[in-house]
Structure 1
Amino acid sequence: MIIGIPKEIKNNENRVALTPAGAQELIKRGHEVYVQHTAGEGSGFLDEMYEEAGVKILPTIQDVYEIAEMIMKVKEPIEEEYELIKEGQLLFTYFHFASYEPLTKAMVKSKSICLAYETVERADKSLPLLIPMSEVAGRMAVQKGANYLEKPLGGRGILLGGVPGVLPAKVLILGAGIVGTQAAWMAAGLGADVTIMDVNLQRLRYLADVMPANVNTMMSNEFNIRKLIQNHDLIIGSILIPGAKATKLITRDMLKTMLPGTVVVDVAVDQGGCIETSRPTTHQDPTFVIDDVVHYCVANMPGAVPYTSTLALTNATLPYAIQIANKGWKKAAQENAELVPGLNIISGDIVYQAVAESFNMEYTPVSKYLAD
């Protein structure tokens, strides 16, 4: 198979979809890998490193899309890329369709095959290609939140871990999945007073057993959320409904009950956000303030640490990419059930129900394409 790796052109996105080591694993199995000039530079992987691995470097993004049977990316295609995508071409990347209707319609129009990292799913309902970036984002949420709690950046002027004789900051985490768990570990390690909320009592029991003493668990409901946001300094939104829009847990009216200078980090913003006032921001312009509450809503948080993120992403995606390259997307999905929910759009049909429901568009069962 011919695999193309374009350079990411989303604002401040420095990750690349494949490391030279990952490319070498594909090449030694007989596949061809083409990488756009300087695509890996932001992550610390130079063209020469790819060439040593057997990769062919192409000068432009147009060249990569033109030659490739499978495009591997990190973030969803943006508007400038829509017309480059060919009918029948496989795109293997993060899409988060439910948060952006124009992207969904563009991919339907392209008649490409869209295999979304974020909805590849194991039998135990875990999301193996979302986990590594969720781990990064969860840890970064605390790092960024602690930073924006500083007074010059609009925060309350409170040190996350406090000092002897002064209480630490209070951190509230909404959602006890991968992002929330990683955020709790980080915040606890910095000495904060942490509360993590979820609707899954079994998950809360597990976390109560394994978390440090400065992490408390609480059932998530509107009453408890309204109560806790009034005296917490950093609030991290980390809920996820795979492939669908995030539920709004904090509404606009709740902001007025928060302490001035409270910081909210909405990690769920790439799925529409779990805070009503959230809107996607960029690393270049990461925050905005509403009702004296600082909102950090960068939709590609791991892009700020591209070396770590690219290595973590390749570790997770490569085994699947090898299967797809060896067998083609259809046979790979027939033989590996984990790939089936990753298929979101095929040849103009939306085959992931949550995406179709998000925009009241027609849904086609994926079985139409996977039947022999």
Structure 2
Amino acid sequence: MIIGIPKEIKNNESRVGMTPAGVLELTKLGHKVLIQSTAGDSSGFDDEDYHAAGATVLPTIDRIYAQSDMIVKVKEPIELEYRLIKEGQIIFTYFHFASNQGLTEAMMKSKSICIAYETVQLSDGTLPLLTPMSEVAGRMAIQQGAKYLEKPVKGKGLLLGGVPGVPPGKVLILGAGTVGIQAAKMAAGLGAQVTVLDVNMNRLRYVNDIMPSHVVTEFSNEYNIRKHIKTSDLIIGGILITGAKAPKLITSDMLKQMQPGTVIVDVAVDQGGCVETTRPTTHEEPAYIIDDVVHYCVANMPGAVPHTSTVALTNVTLPYVLQLAEKGWEQACQDDDALAKGVNIVDGKVTFEPILEAFDWNKSFA
């Protein structure tokens, strides 16, 4: 099979879909790997690294798409790429279709095979291709939140960990999944007072077991959310419903109950966000203010640390890339139920029900 690795062209996306180590594994099996020149530079891998591993380096994105049976990348195709995608071509990447109807319709029109990292799901419910990026994003959420609490960027002017004689900041984390756990670890490490909300009591018990005593848990409901937002300095949105839009746990009227300079980092932005006033931002313009509340809603947070993120992501994607290359997508999905759950669109038809529900499309449409 011919596998293409284009350079990411989404705003400030510096990750790359494959490392030279992955190229070597594919070429050893007789597959051909094409990579766009400079695609790996920001992640710490130059063209010579890829060439030495057996890849063919091509100068343009057009040639990568035109010559490849399967495209392996990081973020969803953007409009400039829509015309390049061929009928029957496998596109293996993060898509987050439920929050982007235009992308969904474009991929249907292309009649490509869209396999989404974020919906590949093991029998125990875990999401192996989303987990490493959630780990990165959860940790970064605290780094960025602490930064945006500074006064020059319109925050409260508060040091999250406090100092002797001055109490630390208060962090509210919505969701005790991977993002929430990693955010809690970072916030606790800084010495902040941390509250984690979730509706899953098993997750709350887990948090209670592994975290220090200044991390507390409560059941998530509107009453408790409204109670905590009044005094929280930093709010992290870490809600995920696999492949579906995130529920709006913080509504626009709640912003008026928050103190001026409160910071919201909505990590759920890829799935539409769990805050009603969330809109996707970029690393170039990461934050905006509504009702004196700072919103940080960068849709590709891990892209700011591309070396760490690329290696973490490709560690888990490569085994699936190898299956797809060796067997073809149909046989690979027949043999692996987890990978089969990643198939979102085939030959112009949506095959993943939460996408249909997100756009209120009749199921017969699929």
- Which range, TM-score by smaller chain? over 0.9
Question: Separation in 2 of the partners of 1:212 and 1:345?
Answer: 44
Contact kept? 1:65, 1:85, Cα under 8 Å: yes
- Give the match's secondary structure for 1:57: strand
Equivalent residue, structure 2, for 1:369: none
Question: Separation in 1 of the partners of 2:50 and 2:119?
Answer: 29
Deviation at 1:356, TM superposition (A): 1.2
Unmatched 5+ stretches in structure 1: 367-372
Contact kept? 1:351, 1:365, Cα under 8 Å: no
Contact kept? 1:3, 1:69, Cα under 8 Å: yes
Deviation at 1:362, TM superposition (A): 4.5
Output one character per residue of 1:122-168: Cα deviation in whole Å (capped at 9) or x when no partner. 00000000000000000000000000000111100110110111100
Equivalent residue, structure 2, for 1:237: 237
Equivalent residue, structure 2, for 1:347: 347
| Identity, % of aligned positions | 66
Question: Separation in 2 of the partners of 1:102 and 1:163?
Answer: 48
Deviation at 1:360, TM superposition (A): 2.3
How many residues align structurally? 366
Alignment of 1:93-172 (within 5 A): 93-172=93-172
Equivalent residue, structure 1, for 2:288: 288
Question: Separation in 1 of the partners of 2:131 and 2:29?
Answer: 27
Question: Separation in 1 of the partners of 2:365 and 2:124?
Answer: 22
Equivalent residue, structure 2, for 1:87: 87
Question: Separation in 1 of the partners of 2:29 and 2:134?
Answer: 30
Unmatched 5+ stretches in structure 2: none
Q: 2:50 aligned with 1:50, yes or no? A: yes
Equivalent residue, structure 2, for 1:190: 190
For normalisation by structure 1, the TM-score amounts to 0.97
Equivalent residue, structure 1, for 2:312: 312
Equivalent residue, structure 2, for 1:199: 199
Question: Separation in 2 of the partners of 1:335 and 1:207?
Answer: 35
Question: Separation in 1 of the partners of 2:357 and 2:350?
Answer: 10
Deviation at 1:206, TM superposition (A): 1.3
Deviation at 1:364, TM superposition (A): 6.7
Equivalent residue, structure 1, for 2:272: 272
The one-letter code matched in structure 2 to 1:133 is: M
The one-letter code matched in structure 2 to 1:328 is: G
Question: Separation in 2 of the partners of 1:362 and 1:45?
Answer: 45
Call closer, same or farther: CA 1:364–1:335 in 2, change over 3 Å. Answer: farther
Question: Separation in 2 of the partners of 1:243 and 1:136?
Answer: 19
Equivalent residue, structure 1, for 2:215: 215
Question: Separation in 2 of the partners of 1:130 and 1:212?
Answer: 26
Question: Separation in 2 of the partners of 1:30 and 1:363?
Answer: 41
Alignment of 1:321-332 (within 5 A): 321-332=321-332
Contact kept? 1:349, 1:364, Cα under 8 Å: no
Question: Separation in 1 of the partners of 2:37 and 2:249?
Answer: 43
Contact kept? 1:263, 1:296, Cα under 8 Å: yes
Call closer, same or farther: CA 1:240–1:40 in 2, change over 3 Å. Answer: same
Output one character per residue of 1:151-206: Cα deviation in whole Å (capped at 9) or x when no partner. 11110011011011110000000000000000000000010000010000111011
For normalisation by structure 2, the TM-score amounts to 0.99
The one-letter code matched in structure 1 to 2:16 is: V
